[in-house]
Every structure is written in structure tokens, then in C-alpha cells.
Copies of this chain bind each other. A is one copy, B any other.
Amino acid sequence: MRNTKQKELIFNIVSNSFDHLSADKIYLKARKVLSNISLGTVYRNLNQLVEEGKIKKIKMNDKDCFDNLKEKHNHFICKKCQKIIDVKDKIDLSHKIENNLIVDYEINFIGICEDCLNKEEKYGNGRKTSL
């Protein structure tokens, strides 16, 4: 495994982003630094970085997004706008299930984000239920 400027750049973009960027967004950011980097290279490096455990892939409805590992956290995903909001991890799931080896876990909270709730209220649907 070789260290290329392309790979380092892509790692830095994902690592220093507060958003959860898709491959094409990462590609656009990367092009600002290496103007002739290709989308294929972005994909190849993203997959490699995931494989190496340096970043994480988030499978979203349309396209996959990528997340840094700076601080263990979980996600809140809005059903309406697909926004991903980081949730600080206060949950301890130090279990071992049967004979399978657990190396990680992820918790996704699913719901409707504040923005979409506000939009709903405007249209008179003030329904509020919780877990």
C-alpha cells in the first residue's frame, strides 16, 4: 500500500469535514487542490481508507457518505430530508453476541429533524410522538 498525494488529500477532506460527504462532493473538493484528480481515484481511495479503518462509510438512501472517526458518535437521520446529525455516544454496548465476534456497532436514530418539524407545523401537522 502506497502513500499518494491523492490518498492523503482525500483522507484530509473526510477527516476535516463536519458534514457527511458523498463521493462526488469529496471529488469536487479534491479538485480544488488537485485539479485533475479523477472520480475513479476518489472512489478507489475512499474504499481503501474504509478498508484500512481510517474512515467510515455511511450507507444512505441514494448514495453513500463518508465519515471521520475523530470521536465515537452515532447518527440521527432525518426521514424527510436525509440529513445526518451527529449524536455524541453515551451508550455502552459492550456485549458479545453468541459466538460472533463484535468489533464495532452503530446506532442510528431515525426521525424528523427540527427543520422539517418546523416546516410541518407551518402546514398544520403538529403531530408529536416519541419513542
Which residues from chain A sit less than 8 Å from chain B, CB to CB? 59-61, 76, 78-79, 85, 87, 91, 93-114, 117, 128-131
- Inside 8 A of A60's CB, which chain B residues have their CB? 59
Q: Which residue of B lies closest to A60 (CB)?
A: B59
B98, B108, B131: the one within 8 Å of A96 (CB)? B131
As for how many copies of this chain the complex holds, the number is: 2
Min distance, Cβ A89 to any Cβ of chain B, angstroms? 12
A-B contact pairs, 27 of them (CB 8 A): A59-B60, A76-B102, A78-B100, A85-B97, A93-B109, A93-B131, A94-B130, A94-B131, A95-B109, A95-B131, A96-B131, A97-B109, A98-B114, A99-B117, A100-B111, A100-B113, A101-B112, A101-B113, A101-B117, A101-B128, A102-B131, A103-B129, A103-B131, A104-B111, A104-B131, A105-B131, A107-B108
